[in-house]
Amino acid sequence: MKTKTFPHGIHPQELKEATSHTSLQPLPAPEKVIIPLHQHFGSPAEPLVKKGDEVFMGQKIGESKSFFSACVHSSVSGKVMKVENYNHPLGNPVPAVTISNDGDDRVFPEIKKHKNPLSLNPEKIRHIVKDAGIVGLGGAAFPTAVKLSPPKDKPIDTIIINGCECEPLLTADHRLMLEYPDEIIQGAELVRIATGAEKIILGIENNKQDVYKLLQKKNYTFPLEISLLKTKYPQGAEKNLISALLKRVVPRGGLPFDVGVVVQNVGTVKAIWDAVNTGKPLYERALTVSGAGITSPKNLIVRIGSLFQNAIDYCGGLQDSANILVMGGPMMGLAQGTPDVPVIKGTSGILAWAEPEQITEHNCISCRRCVTHCPMGLVPTQLMKYSKLDYLSEAESRGIMDCVECGSCQYSCPAGIPLVHWLRVGKNKITDLKRKKSA
Amino acid sequence: MTNNRFILKSSPHFKGKDSVPKIMYAVIISLIPAIAASFYFFRIRALLIYLLSVSACLITEAVFLKARKKPMHSLWDGSAIITGLLLAMTLPPSLSLEIVVIGAVVSITLGKHVFGGLGDNIFNPALVGRAFLQVAFPVAMTTWIPPVTNQINTATYATPLGNLKFQAAAAQGALTPLKDLFWGNIGGCLGETSAVALLLGAAFLLYKRAIDWRIPVGIISILTVFTGIFWLTGPDKYASPAFHFLAGGLIIGAFFMATDMVTSPISPLGAWIYALGIGLLIGIIRLFGGFPEGVMFSILLMNTFVPLINRYTRPRILGERSTH
């Protein structure tokens, strides 16, 4: 079977066998959950509850008036203990609502089912998605309602459902596709309706043949195409996925809108279906707990606000040798200083392993491996030098802001240079400079 | 439970297995057949020249690393050893040993560390050393001895390319047979006489993807076309492309020197331009220049163009040309 792909990229060890055959199972809700009010790209939500309030499962506890934001819901029923800053997996502590779980899972009474979800109008679907606090579950946590509201002058013709899961170790999306195919495809159809697109393409890497076969057997009546992609990293990066599937090139600094495309992760479209069909807001998500440092790796459905520690304990705890803890995948995930951080909407994985000895850094020998592998067509080694020397305008004109930080360059760098780190430094400096200029 | 158990570092957290020393040692391994051939053809002189050249390079490198307060692990990254080996391979076997040491010191000093060390040099260090010796010791650098396996006793022994240039060997039908060029039973620089040994190593490098195949392919193609045209128009005056491919420093230059990552262009298109430039210059120098051989000057000349080539052949950023 011929597979589609994009130019460049790398093929790191997949290491998915540890969990690719283990079914998703719910992580028992912990005694208390700590739900950060800022879990998404955009403005933080303002708390709607205060200490002592009784809350239901699925009740809205945070909301923002901003368009670029997402509301936040309680993942358990119980009592609000406090609304205070708490550790956050993305870095600095942010305000979070701590709720003691009464264990009854009393569902918020205002949550209601929608009859015939597929006959709802676009406006209604967008409204439900916004109200359910849905964000992109691939990791970037971009508010989904925004993605479903393309500008009038940018008609959308294709919905791409991203089932690549190209990061090593992660298999939660794989399991979602195997266990909830109907929900995912119907969720995709809702996205199609909401954006007025003509067709849906589900892109999956060919290391997930079982999903492909399963979906081929189902005879969905939707305008759906299932496309096998080469197992290559970063196949799931939005712009590369679009180029692989449609041979369309998103302009520099542009969005998929610009080429008539909306890309949604499989977990996101399942959340959309759940929200529209049953009224369930986004208060839990599927994620993979894996890596050589986890005693018994699993795929879990975890309530938002559970601590990493809860999930790790449920998976048999950490191995003694484990000395790195990562949220997300090994290529783009964020190293954590402590497992005392809550699971947020963007947590696609909790990984731990024993990090090999520090690699010695050598001078760049211009081997061009970073150039060969960069999926964005950049020259990372040159950008690294510009960033180090503060040659910011050169860095910008050579495309430093186009870097998606996928890590392909650094993965393949024989000199062990922390290229992504230096590119991030350069990008941050440029962003700061622009902010100062506009202020 | 805040503790220092977990390492905090930025992504990516996975790393491929490639390393600078691995690449460098692959090059060293690839040179072994040619080094073995030079031991066979030139015996003890070969051993002495290799030993002196490599140790002088290592010592010079160590002095510079120390003086510039650079990490000492760089000494064993393999690059200084390669410079020493390549320099030795391009020297006449009869060269007096102090000249070998001077060449090695100049290679590391003027070829590498004045620019900032490994990665920042513009020219191939071994060729800088060799060019220096060529200018400083012109007679010693063009005095040749026959290999010990070749029982010719002559005071004016010359290389195959020298015969071609100065003795009008093509006209007299006295060109060195291709068979001898292939096996290496000829006069010439220490490590460049045996084509077969060099090609064996080159095959290993290509298999390991340690060099960009475009560079040797580009150099050899253009040289073949260039010398081929002249050979077809005047076979009694010019040597065949096969002769030009096997003779002199072409193979060692095209596969082992022009391919030096530091001093060759970044993009595939750049590599082609660079390779065609080198091949054409070699052809022009060999056919019409004052020297019988032009590999060294051609590579050094094209090295100077690398930053310019890089500037005009940078890869296209995704989205630079949108298609919709």
- Out of A337, A379, A406, closest to residue B8 by CB: A337
CB contact (8 A) between residue B20 and residue A415: yes
Q: What is d(CA B281, CA B226) in angstroms, rounded to the nearest whole number?
A: 10
Residue B254: pLDDT band with limits 50, 70, 90: very high
> Strand pairing partners for A34?
A98
Give the mean pLDDT of chain B: 92
Residue A167 has pLDDT above 50, yes or no: yes
Q: What is the ipTM of this complex?
A: 0.91
- Weakest-pLDDT range from A310-319, B106-115, B138-147: B138-147
Q: What is d(CA B216, CA A291) in angstroms, rounded to the nearest whole number?
A: 43
Task: Delimit the domains of chain B by residue range.
Answer: 20-140, 211-312
* Minimal CA separation from B200 to chain A, in Å: 22
Q: What strands, in cross-sheet order, belong to the sheet with A349-353?
A: A24-26, A298-303, A284-290, A349-353, A324-327, A334-336
Provide mean pLDDT across the span B158-183: 83
Residue B153 has pLDDT above 60, yes or no: no
Percent of chain A past pLDDT 90, that is, above it, reads 93
The token pair that represents B37 in the structure block: 């051939």
Q: Are strands A349-353 and A324-327 parallel, antiparallel or unpaired?
A: antiparallel
Residue B1 has pLDDT above 60, yes or no: no
Alpha helices in A180-234 (DSSP H): 181-195, 209-217
> Strand pairing partners for A195?
none
The model scores a pTM over 0.80: yes
Rg (CA), chain B: 21
Q: Which amino acid is at A114?
A: H
Residue A439: pLDDT band with limits 50, 70, 90: confident
Q: What is d(CA B155, CA B145) in angstroms, rounded to the nearest whole number?
A: 8
B-interface mutation test, from A362, A388, A411, most B Cβ less than 10 A away: A362
Q: Report the number of secondary-structure helices (H) and strands (E) in chain A.
A: 14, 17
Provide mean pLDDT across the span A288-314: 97
Residue B21 has pLDDT above 70, yes or no: yes
pLDDT value at position B323?
Answer: 66
Give the mean pLDDT of chain A: 95
Q: What is d(CA A233, CA B14) in angstroms, rounded to the nearest whole number?
A: 12
pLDDT in tens, A259-293: 999 999 999 999 999 999 999 999 999 999 999 99
pLDDT value at position B152?
Answer: 63
* Minimal CA separation from B29 to chain A, in Å: 18
Which helix or strand (DSSP H or E) is residue A47 part of?
Answer: strand A46-47
Residue A62: pLDDT band with limits 50, 70, 90: very high
Instruction: Identify whether the C-beta of residue A223 lies closer than 8 Å to the C-beta of residue A190.
Output: no
- Domain A17-21+112-278 matching CATH 3.40.50.11540: the answer reads yes
Q: What is d(CA B207, CA A367) in angstroms, rounded to the nearest whole number?
A: 16
Q: Which residues contact A255 (CB under 8 A, 6 or more apart)?
A: none
The token pair that represents B191 in the structure block: 């490590």
What DSSP string describes A253-307?
T--GGGGTEEEEEHHHHHHHHHHHHH---S-EEEEEEESTTBSS-EEEEEETT-B
Q: Are strands A284-290 and A24-26 parallel, antiparallel or unpaired?
A: unpaired
Residues from chain B that touch A251, judged by Cβ atoms under 8 A, are 319, 322
CA atoms within 13 A on the CB side of A358: 7
Residue A170 has pLDDT above 60, yes or no: yes
CB contact (8 A) between residue A366 and residue B262: yes
Q: What is d(CA A95, CA B106) in angstroms, rounded to the nearest whole number?
A: 64
Residues from chain B that touch A232, judged by Cβ atoms under 8 A, are none
3-state secondary structure of A224: strand
| CB-CB neighbours of A304 under 10 Å | 24
- Out of A247, A248, A416, closest to residue B19 by CB: A416
CB contact (8 A) between residue B10 and residue A366: no
Percent of chain A past pLDDT 70, that is, above it, reads 100
| CB-CB neighbours of B288 under 10 Å | 9
Q: Which amino acid is at B312?
A: Y
Task: Delimit the domains of chain A by residue range.
Answer: 17-21+112-278, 369-438
Cα angle for residues B70, B75, B76 (degrees, 5° grid):
135
pLDDT in tens, A4-39: 999 999 999 999 999 999 999 999 999 999 999 999
A166 φ/ψ sector (left φ>0, alpha ψ -120 to 50, else beta) = alpha
Q: Which amino acid is at A352?
A: A
pLDDT in tens, B119-144: 999 999 999 999 999 999 999 998 88
Residues from chain A that touch B119, judged by Cβ atoms under 8 A, are 362-366, 415
Provide mean pLDDT across the span A238-252: 95
Tokens 């590498």 locate to: B112
CB contact (8 A) between residue B16 and residue A416: no
